[in-house]
A and B are shown apart, each in its own frame.
Chain A
């Protein structure tokens, strides 16, 4: 199973909005509404930010939102803050009953 494709880095100024893309195939991202997004700060375990393409777990800021079009899912961070600087990973359930992650995107707050 090939990894999902994410941009290596995305940056923005405080208060701006940024969007991270996650491209797969019809066998994963495009075939199921089972895309999740994780935030990871250095030395910490990943934190679930979005599940089921658009759902936020309890406690996650409303500044984080998810969407999907075809084989590409997206994570948007609105009102960018310094604490949002981290690595972000998407994941998707697949047609072979497995899970695939993206390569990760480093978000930098300028």
Chain B
């Protein structure tokens, strides 16, 4: 069955960096767009970034553009999010998600359990 397992979250000071990872299994990882979505405590989901199956096209929310970098390693069935210059407002649970099928218009049928990023001094 499909599994998405995030890791790498933690407590970091403003201006610091973290690298999130997502280990995928149960599907052909290299066939699917992958996306990071975050959810601040008590708030709704916020799209962060997505990457195409080959890893050649990436898009970012304005709130993270220039600070976050999404990447993938299809040989390792893994998705990554490098987060630099972290701000207090980046505090959230970060989910790794899989698109239901290519061309679905960003509908996500599988979500990981999330990894918590806390930015605080």
Instruction: Give every chain B residue within 8 A of A91 (Cβ-Cβ).
Output: 45, 47, 106-107
Chain B, interface size category, equals 20 to 34
B31 contacts the other chain (CB 8 A): no
Chain B nearest CB from A56 CB (Å) reads 11
A39-68 residues with Cβ-Cβ distance < 8 A to B are 45-48, 51-52, 57
B12 contacts the other chain (CB 8 A): no
- Which of B13-21, B74-82, B84-92, B110-118 sits within the interface? B110-118
How many A-B contacts are there with CB distance less than 8 Å?
Answer: 63
Cβ of B105 and Cβ of A34 under 8 Å apart?
Answer: yes
Q: Report the separation of the CA atoms of residues A100 and B46 in the bound assembly, to the nearest whole angstrom.
A: 7
Cβ of B50 and Cβ of A45 under 8 Å apart?
Answer: no
Q: Report the separation of the CA atoms of residues A1 and B52 in the bound assembly, to the nearest whole angstrom.
A: 21
Interface residues of A (CB under 8 A from B): 1, 3, 32-34, 36, 38, 45-48, 51-52, 57, 87, 89, 91-93, 97-104
